[in-house]
Amino acid sequence: MQTFTVKTTGRTDLHDITREVARAVEGTTVSEGACLVYVPHTTAGVTINENADPAVRVDIESALERLVPWSGPYRHSEGNAAAHVKASMMGFSAMVPISGGRLVLGTWQGIYLCEFDGPRTRKVHVRVLPSV
Ligand code: ZN
C-alpha cells in the first residue's frame, strides 16, 4: 500500500489528488487491475468528478453546504457534525480501473479528496490491485 498526505485549505476543500494517485499507480508493475483510493478519516472523503471547469467543484461544495449546513440542530459535542455527515455522503473510498498501467478515467474526470473540517493534513492510501 502507498500513502501520501494532502494539506487542505479552508474548512471545505475539494482537493484534486489525481496526479498523486496516478503516480502511485505508475510506481508499480501492475498493468491491468484496479486502484483503491481510501481516506482513513471521518470528516474527509473521496469522490470522482469533473476537473475541467472549477465551478463544478464550487457548486458541489455549496450544494453540500445547503443540504448540510455547518450550524444545525446536531447532537455531536465536537461541533463538526456537518463534516461527518458530508464525509459519509461522499464516501471514504473510490475504485478506479487500471489498464495499460494507467488509471482509466474519463476525459473530464478527476479524483478529489473532500475536506469538510479543514484545514488539516490528511492521509490518502492507495492500494493497486492486479487482476488475476
Ligand atoms: Zn467530530
| CATH number of the domain residue 70 falls in | 2.60.120.460
Grouping H, G, I as helix, E, B as strand and the rest as coil, residue 19 is helix
Percent of the chain with pLDDT over 70: 100
Number of domains into which the chain is organized: 1
What would the pLDDT profile of 20-39 be if each residue is shown by its tens digit? 999 999 999 999 999 999 99
pLDDT(96) > 90: yes
Q: Which three cell numbers stand for residue 44?
A: 474527509
Ligand 1 center to 80 CA (angstroms): 5
Encode burial over 73-110: b for 16+ CB neighbours within 10 A, e otherwise: ebeeeeebbbbbbbbeebebebebebeeeebebeeebb
Print the domain residue range for 82: 2-130
Query: Using a CB cutoff of 8 Å and minimum separation of 24, what contacts does 60-64 make?
Result: 60/14, 61/12, 61/14, 64/12, 64/89, 64/116
Residue 128 CA to ligand 1 center (angstroms) comes to 30
pLDDT (average), residues 109-129: 98
Q: In the structure, what pLDDT confidence band is assigned to residue 104 with cuts at 50, 70 and 90?
A: very high
Distance (angstroms) between ligand 1 centre and the Cα of 37 equals: 23
The Å distance, Cα 129 to ligand 1 centre, comes to 32
Distance 119 CA to ligand 1 centre (A): 14
pLDDT band at 72 (very low <50, low <70, confident <90, very high): confident
Q: Does residue 121 have a pLDDT over 90? A: yes
Neighbours of ion ligand 1 (CB under 5 A): 78, 80
How many angstroms separate the alpha carbon of residue 44 from the centre of ligand 1? 11
